[in-house]
């Protein structure tokens, strides 16, 4: 599998930044070839052509329809993060969710 590019989005990019950092630690520990970037949801369109998966903060479920429009024609897996691991910024659980969705 080639490098997997993942974009995490929350409202402002702050909590997704912490989540991305926590995921990167686990990715490194597991020796996986995954790049995780965090941005604010307003920047999704700028990155849609560069990513394989988009992980969305649970409080942003209401923008999933908009995201569907951005991703049309792009091979991007959209994953709504679960509140239980997002609230704890649990990078391992987020990574497991990602891997189970793209497997």
Q: What is the pLDDT of residues 9-19, one digit of tens each?
A: 987 657 889 99
* Domain coverage including residue 91: 4-102
Domain count of the fold of the chain: 1
> Count of alpha carbons within 13 Å of 80, Cβ hemisphere only?
11
Give me the pLDDT at residue 1, please.
52
In the predicted model, residues of the chain with pLDDT beneath 70 are 1, 12-13
Q: What is the CATH number of the domain that holds 60?
A: 3.40.50.2300
């Amino acid at each position: 599998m080639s490098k997997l590019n993942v974009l995490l989005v929350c409202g402002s990019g702050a909590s997704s930044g912490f989540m991305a950092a926590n995921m990167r630690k686990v990715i490194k520990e597991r020796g996986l070839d995954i790049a995780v970037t965090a941005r604010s949801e307003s920047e999704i369109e700028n990155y849609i052509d560069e990513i394989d998966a988009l992980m969305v903060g649970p409080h942003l479920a209401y923008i999933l329809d908009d995201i569907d429009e951005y991703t049309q024609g792009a091979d991007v897996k959209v994953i709504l993060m679960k509140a239980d691991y997002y609230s704890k910024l649990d990078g391992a659980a987020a990574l497991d969710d990602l891997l189970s969705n793209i497997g």
